Amino acid sequence: MIVRVQRDPFDPWQELAAAGKRLAAAGAHGATAVFVGSLRDYNQGQPVSAMTLEHYPGMTEAHLEKVGREAAARWPILDALVVHRYGALTPGEPIVLVAVWSAHRDAAFAACRYIIDELKTRAPFWKRERTAAGARWATPED
Amino acid sequence: MIVRVQRDPFDPWQELAAAGKRLAAAGAHGATAVFVGSLRDYNQGQPVSAMTLEHYPGMTEAHLEKVGREAAARWPILDALVVHRYGALTPGEPIVLVAVWSAHRDAAFAACRYIIDELKTRAPFWKRERTAAGARWATPED
Amino acid sequence: MTPITVRFFASIREDLGKDEEHIDSQGIATAADVWERVAGRPLPARTLVAVNQQYASPGHPVKAGDEVAFFPPVTGGELP
Amino acid sequence: MTPITVRFFASIREDLGKDEEHIDSQGIATAADVWERVAGRPLPARTLVAVNQQYASPGHPVKAGDEVAFFPPVTGGELP
């Protein structure tokens, strides 16, 4: 399982192409489930021009790895990849990528969903949005 | 929404990179959910050396488009892409790609899952597997 | 008269040894009638039926010019 | 004596005007004690607490050398 928290932009499809090459037994995984979250250009009726993501270096990575281990304990998955940005983002850019490889569709979907849900509710990241009305901290209700 | 049923191999990540560029308003979709199904090298304890996928030209495409329209009617999705192979496949090759773009995670996951589930239970495709024990038609219980 | 086009797929195509047949619509009222004409026996359980490329029940009406297809349960997507 | 490291993130960092502080562990038993020492008021509702980079309750024991962090509800991933 690979977890990366990084300032640099990433291309989710290049990440997945590279990860597929790394997976030793390509024929073992019948199912790959992927979620990509991007920065929308609107939130709560306001155009969003930019966003900054703060995190807790060390704890954020450790928490994502824990969520990945939990998913691997609950479902028969072969591998998982989580990439999450921090720092400055512009609309349209990917924020988060979660990918799960499994022999089976059910496990791949369930584990992928579990990781992104846990990430959103528990991983220490905070968004500060810049809109025409000024900067504001996003809330979990956004 | 794009539906393609094709004999040629495809690279799911290249398809998604190209689809992302086509989506006019990149900032509108906060969520992309993707499923890729590949040919496993084992089924029911037998190594699978190759597979042939038969389909019903015309009906297969029409059925996939109907499933896509059903998903778009049930969930607020922005776009969807379905690519499915037919003909000869070798282990490790992608068989099917389903991608759904939405403003929201719930809709993207639900619609992606709906499309692949409906595809598997209703779209007219039939797999013939070649194993050391000979060729056999796959069954839905596989 | 315009015939009825009958198509067979996968294991049913192999069992019958043909992939397509054209039959006279005389005496044919339903998809099940089409099957009995081409196969000489009742429609096996679990066989799927399409009329004009849409799923239909064996009792679905069939008329001259229609395309009727018979095939086993489908197995698309990944394994399983 | 080894101090306790206290860290603040996001809106709490902005409200307090600091991101990190080191305090003497004398008189500190729990994470809530740490907050009252550094902020001079009770821990606001919904504030999250981590001790040594793991989520903890406000009543979690804290000792010299620990890292204690306070931050608002998290908002990672896509919107919303």
Subunit contact A124:D71, Cβ cutoff 8 A: yes
Q: Which residues of A touch B17 (CB under 8 A)?
A: 11, 13-14
Q: Is B9 on the interface with D (CB under 8 A)?
A: no
Residue pLDDT tens, chain A, 142 long: 899 999 999 999 999 999 988 775 556 678 999 999 998 776 666 777 788 999 999 999 999 999 999 999 999 999 999 999 999 998 888 999 999 999 889 999 999 999 999 999 999 999 998 877 888 898 887 6
Provide the token pair at A2.
């690979």
CA distance to partner chain C, nearest, from residue B53 (Å)? 8
The distance of B123 to chain C (nearest Cα, Å) reads 7
Kindly tell me if the per-residue pLDDT of B105 is higher than 80: yes
Burial class (CB in 10 A: 0-12, 13-18, 19+), B78: buried
Chain B interface includes C47 (CB < 8 A): no
- Tell me how far CA of residue D4 lies from CA of C77, D10, D28, in angstroms: 56, 20, 9
* pLDDT confidence of residue A131: 77
What pLDDT does A47 receive? 74
D23-36 core/surface letters (b: 16 or more CB in 10 A; e: else): bebeebebbbbbbe
Whether D76 and chain B come into contact, CB under 8 Å, resolves to no
**Where on the phi/psi map is residue B62: left (φ > 0), alpha (ψ -120 to 50), or beta?**
alpha
The pair phi, psi for residue B63, each rounded to 5°, is -70, -40
What was the ipTM of the complex prediction? 0.91
What residues of C are in contact with residue B127 (Cβ under 8 Å)?
75-76, 79
pLDDT at B92 over 90: no
Mutation site, A5, A41, A52, A59, interface D, largest D CB count within 10 A: A59
C79 chain-A contacts, CB cut-off 8 A: 30
Pick the residue with more confidence: D76 or B15?
A: B15
Between the two ends of chain B, the Cα-to-Cα distance in Å is 30
Whether B33 has a pLDDT exceeding 70, the answer reads yes
Q: Which of C7, C54, C79 sits opposite B39 (nearest CB)?
A: C79
Quote the tokens at residue B81: 């892409």
**D45 close contact with B: CB closer than 8 A:** no
Q: Average pLDDT over chain B, rounded to whole? A: 90
List the 48-87 stretch of A: residues with Cβ below 8 A of B.
Answer: none
Cis bond upstream, residue D80 (ω within 30) = yes
- pLDDT for the residue numbered A20: 82
In total, the C-beta contacts within 8 angstroms joining chain A to chain D are 87
* Measured distance CA(B107)–CA(D12) in Å, rounded: 33
Q: Which residue of A has its CA nearest to C78?
A: A30
Q: What is the pLDDT of residues C42-54, one digit of tens each?
A: 999 999 999 999 9
Mutation target among B42, B51, B59, B136 for the C interface, most CBs of C within 10 A: B59
Contact between B59 and C69 using a beta-carbon 8 Å cutoff? yes
Q: Using the beta-carbon criterion (under 8 Å), do A20 and B39 form an inter-chain contact?
A: no
* Cβ–Cβ contact C16 with B under 8 A: no
Residue D79 pLDDT: 67
- C26 has pLDDT over 90: yes
Question: Cβ separation of B56 and C7 shorter than 8 Å?
Answer: yes
Pick from B14, B32, B38: CB nearest A36: B32
A38 touches chain D (CB under 8 A): yes
Among all chains, which residue has been given the structure tokens 């990366």?
A: A4
Any B CB within 8 A of A28 CB:
yes
The mean of the pLDDT values for chain C is: 95
Contacts of A31 in chain C (CB under 8 A): 78
β-strand pairing of C20-23 with C4-8: antiparallel
State how far residue D12 is from chain A, nearest Cα, in angstroms: 11
Q: Could you count the other beta carbons within 10 Å of the beta carbon of residue B35?
A: 28
Contact criterion met (CB below 8 Å) for B132 and B46: yes
Q: Are strands A31-38 and A94-102 parallel, antiparallel or unpaired?
A: antiparallel
Phi and psi, residue A38, nearest 5°: -120, 165
Instruction: List the beta strands (DSSP E) in A42-137.
Output: 42-43, 46-55, 77-85, 87-89, 94-102, 125-131, 134-137
Q: What is the pLDDT of residues B59-80, one digit of tens each?
A: 999 999 999 999 999 999 999 9
AA letter at A6: Q
Residue B28 is predicted with a pLDDT of 67
Helix (H, G, I), strand (E, B) or coil at D30: strand
Cβ atoms C49, C68 nearer than 8 A: yes
Taking the CA of residue A97 and the nearest CA in chain D, the distance in Å comes to: 9
Question: For residue A42, what pLDDT is reported?
Answer: 67
User: CB of A8 within 8 Å of any CB in chain D?
Assistant: no
**Residue B71 touches partner C, C-beta closer than 8 Å:** no
- Tell me the per-residue pLDDT of D22-71, one tens digit each, with 9 for 90 and over: 999 999 999 999 999 999 999 999 999 999 999 999 999 999 999 999 99
The angle that helices B12-22 and A12-22 make with each other, rounded to 10 degrees, is: 180
Instruction: Verify cis geometry, omega within 30 degrees of 0, for the bond prior to C80.
Output: yes
Whether the per-residue pLDDT at D21 is higher than 80: the answer is yes
Give the number of residues written for chain C: 80
Distance CA B35, CA A105 (A): 8
Interface contacts (B, D; CB < 8 Å): 7
